[in-house]
């Protein structure tokens, strides 16, 4: 029996907040692929076959009963071709269906919010007598790229003497998911756990997250290159989500031994790359 077969399910893995998302569910019914037609044919003809066996076989072909879409196991869309109103959508937080661009193989979601993130599943069912059912799913995450930051605290400091402890904090801009922060000393990643202080992240309004990372380091003469120490904090999301990143840089000139005060050469900057 050819029956009902799931061919492809397309759920975009990542979308930006405010964008639209097209969810697709393509299937085969009786060996015919359904993926470009909004209405499935429900009245098959015998095409003039005189052979009773062939006619009987065509009578037994399966018909589509429904296509249902779920987010985190909660139904939000239903397509029943035999119904007087084939398309029906249900209110769920984070879901806004555009019925004019949705049908038996696709659903268009508009105005995505962070609450639109989740596991999406389509379930296709055939009519009696078989009641065959197939389903497929995928995860979509809605992301929010930071609009500012990161910021390094204590960047007003004029300089650090050899033997002094440098204590800095880096704060990310608000994002979803959380930004990852990393410290660089003279463009080399700081990996020593003794120098890195982890703080709990903070969830803001609308589910956006701010992250913090501390740096504590005793300054020695090797940290000054050509008389300058350069500290950088880089904020990034997954490379898939956010190409490039944002960084904040501070640098100090090594103070003369007989002078306790030196001017700050670089100022704290925030740049894209």
230 in a domain, yes or no?
yes
Q: 125 preceded by cis ω (within 30°)?
A: no
Continuous H helices in 13-63: 52-59
CATH of the domain at 20: 2.60.40.10
Q: What range does the domain containing 9 cover?
A: 5-30+62-143
Question: 3-state class of 75 per DSSP?
Answer: strand
Q: What is residue 261's predicted lDDT score, i.e. its pLDDT? A: 25
Q: Which pLDDT belongs to residue 247?
A: 66
Report the pLDDT value the prediction gives residue 44, as an integer from 0 to 100.
36
86 with 138, same domain: the answer is: yes
**So what's the pLDDT on residue 254?**
62
Q: What is the pLDDT of residue 61?
A: 64
Same domain membership, residue 119 and residue 97: yes
Q: Give pLDDT < 70 ranges for the chain.
A: 1-2, 31, 35-61, 155-156, 238-273
pLDDT tens per residue, range 128-153: 778 889 999 999 999 888 888 889 98
The conformation of residue 92, written as its DSSP 8-state character, comes to: B
- Show which of 143, 162, 196 is a domain's final residue: 143
Q: How far apart are CA 177 and CA 10, in angstroms?
A: 22
Task: Answer yes or no: do 132 and 77 share one domain.
Answer: yes
Helical (H) or strand (E) element with 41: none
The domain boundary residue, chosen from 92, 123, 143: 143
Contact present, 135 and 124 (Cβ < 8 Å): yes
172 lies in the same domain as 130: no
60: which 2 tokens?
Answer: 């037994």
Whole-model pTM? 0.67
Domain count, the chain: 2
Residues 91 and 132 occupy one common structural domain: yes
∠ at Cα 174 (168, 177), nearest 5°? Answer: 110
Among 120, 143, 166, the domain boundary falls at 143
How much is the pLDDT for 245? 58
* Positive/negative CA dihedral, 33, 38, 41, 42: positive
CB-based burial of residue 98 (10 Å sphere; 0-12 exposed, 13-18 middle, 19+ buried)? middle
């Amino acid at each position: 029996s050819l029956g009902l077969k799931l061919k492809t399910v397309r759920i975009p893995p990542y979308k930006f907040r405010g964008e639209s998302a097209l969810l697709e569910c393509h299937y085969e019914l009786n060996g015919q692929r359904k993926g470009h037609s909004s209405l499935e044919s429900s009245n098959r003809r015998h095409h003039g076959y005189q052979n009773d066996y062939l006619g009987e076989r065509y009578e037994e072909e399966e018909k589509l009963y429904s296509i249902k879409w779920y987010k985190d196991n909660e139904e939000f869309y239903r397509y029943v071709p035999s119904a007087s109103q084939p398309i029906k959508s249900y209110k769920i937080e984070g879901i806004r269906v555009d019925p004019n661009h949705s049908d038996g193989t696709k659903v268009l979601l508009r105005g995505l919010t962070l609450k639109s993130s989740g596991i999406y599943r389509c379930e296709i069912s055939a009519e009696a007598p078989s009641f065959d059912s197939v389903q497929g799913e995928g995860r979509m995450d809605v992301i929010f790229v930071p609009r500012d930051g990161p910021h390094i605290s204590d960047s007003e400091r004029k300089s650090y003497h050899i033997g002094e402890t440098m204590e800095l904090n880096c704060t990310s801009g608000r994002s979803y998911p959380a930004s990852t922060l990393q410290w660089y000393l003279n463009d080399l990643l700081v990996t020593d756990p003794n120098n890195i202080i982890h703080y709990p992240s903070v969830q803001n309004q609308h589910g956006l997250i701010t992250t913090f990372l501390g740096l504590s380091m005793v300054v020695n003469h090797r940290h000054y290159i050509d008389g300058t120490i350069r500290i950088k904090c880089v904020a990034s999301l997954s490379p898939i989500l956010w190409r490039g990143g944002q960084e904040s840089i501070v640098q100090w000139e090594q103070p003369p031994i007989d002078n306790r005060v030196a001017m700050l050469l670089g100022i704290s900057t925030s740049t894209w790359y």
